[in-house]
Structure 1
Amino acid sequence: MSTGPAFDVKEQIKRAVDIVDLVGESVPLRREGRAYKGLCPWHDDSRPSLHVNPERQTFRCFVCNIGGDIFTFVEKRENVTFREALVILAERAGVPLALGRPGGASAEESDERRKLFQAAAWAEQQFHDCLLKAAEAEPARRYLRARGISDESILRYHLGFAPNEWDWLLKRARAASISPATLEKIGLLRPRPQGPARCRPWRRHGRRRADGRPRAAGARR
């Protein structure tokens, strides 16, 4: 059995991060007896085959035969190495790590990644607040209610709304000192000969990393 500082850190993280909460952020789960079930994200699942055991703090899909603990789940979901999963979960748990930067990144690269994550989180919040509060988002709110999507789900999955104005986000970004180049890097602006123009999706939804930071956004008109 492994012992030492690395083992202690892993155990601290496992005690701090509940696997039901972790999996439930990206996979809707339903309690059945002492376990939870959901649709497996790694195959075309129509009958919930992903089982999460809160007592053992493990998960398994009995079709894919993919399973493990919180570290395995993050490795599979984020497509990262164990070391990167360790860093992600340590940030989430607030457990300090005496490790170098992931992937040997330089200080400049790490700062750039941090800036992009911050910009993505800021943009996600703009879309989310717009859906919750803006008058022009009322058709989107009616649509979501008609689809049976609850307020709890809107908050949990950070659903958002983008008004039909190409520079809506750009104007807010300038006020927040976020450059068009940064928005372009995170996929929220697209270049054109006359200057940057943003795609105009109707609704937006965010997907989050295990540390709570946005990792992707989808859109639908």
Structure 2
Amino acid sequence: MFTYKRTIKSGPLTEIEYYRSFRKIGKNYGGRKINQSLTPEKQKRANRMRAIKNMQRLILCNFTSGDYFVRLSVPRAELTEDKFEKIASKWKRKMRDAFRKIGKKFKYISFTECGKLGKNWHMHIIVEREALEFVEKYWEYDGINFTALYQSGYYEKLAEYITKDVAGEKRIRTARCLKKPDVTVKEAGRREIKKLERGEMIKIPDGYFLLKDDDNYNYNDITGASWYFAFLPLAYEKFDIS
């Protein structure tokens, strides 16, 4: 069995994971397989946690406080999903053209969903602050609501909201130009793992504070516990992390 240390850097957030695996990095094992050691319920929770973290990392790599979470709707109109998607796609094309003219790429994370009564399709979208004037200019309807991204630099709750899909009617889309997290994986030393097994804390990176630690992160019934740590710069310590 191999032991690995994965470091993931997403904007201000640094995450470090220690885990065991029967697979050696760099070797082809014929594609990804479902973790047979997990019960269906555990697998569901693991998939949910993974989706939230992946979305959180994507937000942190591309957006920050001062950017916006926007809701776009067509008031008092009952539209089919296809009709609304055509409206949203036309608006995004105009946004891309507007950004191209100012020498930038239009970055966004969006999802469309329907109201509880099966009516009122609408779109939520994260955009940079420069997009605000274009949002109002090119959305041809009155249904616009802006919410500034908060300053904590974490955005887990926002990622949870974006990925939650109770009714199965949410459609998530992202710009192709989005930056991805910086991920490095290397073999972990036996001494590191032994310290973790004794409950010892790893060294906190200089200029950071410990945000979260979890010794049951992605628990596997065969390989046992993995260890997870998340760090933010000291400048974020004053904010309400959520």
Q: Which has the larger radius of gyration?
A: 2
Question: TM-score band (shorter)?
Answer: under 0.3
Tell me which protein shows more helix as a share of its residues: 1
Using CA pairs under 8 Å that are at least 6 residues apart, name the structure with larger relative contact order, 1 or 2.
2
TM-score (norm 2): 0.24
Bigger strand share: 2
